Amino acid sequence: MNLSSSIFPAPLDPTFQPTVLFNRNYVAAAKKSGRAVPLVIGLERENKLLSRYETIVLPDADATTLLYVERLVKFLLWAWGGGKLYLGGPTAIGEAIRKAYSPRGARKFDFDMMTSAYAKTFEVVVTTAEKVPAAKEAKTAAGGHLKGCRIGFDLGASDYKFSAVIDGKAVYTDEVPWDPKTQSNPEYHYHHIVSGLHRAAAYLPRVDAIGGSSAGIIVDNEIRVASLLRAIPKKDFAKAAKVFKRIQKEWNVPVQVMNDGDVTALAGALSLGSRGMLGIAMGSSQAAGFMDRHGRIPGWLNELAFVPVDFQPEAAEDEWSKDKGTGVMYFSQQAVNKLLPAAKIYLPEKLGLPERLKEVQGLMAKGDARAAKIYETIGTYLGCALAQYTEFYDYEQALILGRVTTGKGGDIVIARAREVLKKNFPEVARKIEIRVPDEKSRRVGQAVAAASLPALKK
């Protein structure tokens, strides 16, 4: 049964089946049946924080219901994160999910990654809707603390940036190349970060706080999963993962480090003077970050590269997770590459993904209609995904950035996404505004925004 036929097809992907339509149509059909029962999903993270999602399902563990629930669980795991999953509803459905998200199940990748992220074996608790624990979200505003003398840093795969900031104004910035992903000695990462801190500190009368932004999964100021540490031997990983806590102890000031996607959302919120911000970066992968309407960064994973956005059975497969229809194949350089054959653009096999994107951008600059179709297709994906994200994220501003969205192609992506929302999801189009970085937002750099993360000692 196809519950996600699109009324606004993607030009180069006519079989695209948006997750948002599948989910809405399934719930509507369940309601209409008169047999629907509650399903409550709870995800417990660090420090007993817990997020809940409530929906309805048909009581039978039929194939369509299991598909709906499994994809929903997959979305919530990577959007919110959790070391323990509570599934409150029909037992047969819960047991099917427990089997899938197990060391030998279809979602072994997700089981292993959540186990690593939360430093304990991932657990699925099958229970009733009434017994799923109450929600407990982070209540402290993260970021936006501008007073004092601060250092901010941003750790990327090829360079790292530092800023010395006094009362919200950068008095020093620096960008230094490094190659962390090939280094097996944890001291390499530590010494590079500390040397940057000392250089920045030389421009301050004192250091009141340190804030950081880093690629990867950061939980409680510890690196749990990160490509920056991919060469670190397993026996040394714990030492490398605690580098920020080591720095906090040595500098004796508040230190707070968050995922780079969340800090991107924070930078956007600071520059635009807005809250309720979902930031999405389309580059080598899909990165995301979120600030709620109260100015809080809840500490969710926001790894939208792994969430399902397409239900078509033959959707493109992510080579890392081995799952199909997930965000990375729709909102990154890989999305551009995936659409090349349908666009009838043929490039040398030796070209890497960044070079392929450059070729398409070059064609777009010349007004090539084939390249335009690629961007129109990605824009269609984006419009549907933004509607989907509103069901899990309470946001008003969608900040879209990244190499895939640069140039004339990026303009097409944004225009198409707005058109999709207006025609197919008018209630969402009225609720959210799609933004791209302007000169003002570019001036609020990632490292400067990171410097505002920690509150000062009272």
Name residue 66's amino acid. L
* All residues at 6 or more sequence positions from 183 whose CB lies less than 8 Å from its CB, including other chains: 189, 231, 232
DSSP character at residue 227? G
For the chain, what is the mean pLDDT? 92
State the distance between the two ends of the chain, measured CA to CA, in whole angstroms. 59
Set out the domains of the chain in order of their start, with CATH numbers.
35-131 (no CATH), 152-258 (3.30.420.40), 266-443 (3.30.420.40)
Task: Examine the pLDDT at 93 and tell me if it is beyond 70.
Answer: yes
Interstrand relation of 217-219 and 222-225 (parallel, antiparallel or unpaired): antiparallel
Which of the two residues, 405 and 438, has the higher pLDDT score? 405
Mean pLDDT, residues 158-165:
89
pLDDT for 440: 45
pLDDT at position 448, please?
Answer: 84
In the structure encoding, which two tokens stand for residue 70, read together? 């499994």
Report pLDDT for 444.
46
Percent of the chain topping pLDDT 90: 73
pLDDT above 90: residue 403: no
Say if CB 228 and CB 215 are below 8 A apart. Answer: yes
Q: Which of the listed ranges 168-177, 259-268, 344-353 does the model predict with the highest average pLDDT? A: 344-353
Of 285 and 439, more confident = 285
Number of neighbouring beta carbons within 10 Å of residue 218: 25
What the block records as the tokens of 166 is 């006094």
Quick one: which of 448, 428, 75, 404 has its CA closest to 269? 448
Structure tokens at 349: 């096999």
> What average pLDDT does the segment 271-286 reach?
85
Of 235, 155, 149, 250, whose CA–CA distance to 200 is shortest? 149
> Which structure tokens are listed for 173?
């910035």
User: pLDDT at position 7, please?
Assistant: 64
Total Cβ atoms within 10 A of residue 375: 29
Q: What is the pLDDT of residue 443?
A: 44
User: How does pLDDT run across 331-372, given as a tens digit for each residue?
Assistant: 999 999 999 999 999 999 999 998 999 999 999 999 999 999
Give pLDDT, residue 358: 95
Closest alpha carbon to 286 in 229, 319, 333, 336: 333
Tens-digit pLDDT profile for residues 412-431: 999 999 999 999 999 999 99
**What's the mean pLDDT in 142-163?**
88
pLDDT, mean of residues 163-190: 92
> What does the pLDDT look like over 96-114, one tens digit per residue?
999 999 999 999 999 999 9
DSSP 132-174: SPPPB---S--S----SEEEEEEE-SSEEEEEEEETTEEEEEE
Percent of residues, the chain, with pLDDT higher than 70: 96
152 contacts 175 by C-beta, under 8 angstroms: no
Please report where in the chains the tokens 């309470």 appear, as a residue. Answer: 394
> Which amino acid, residue 25?
N
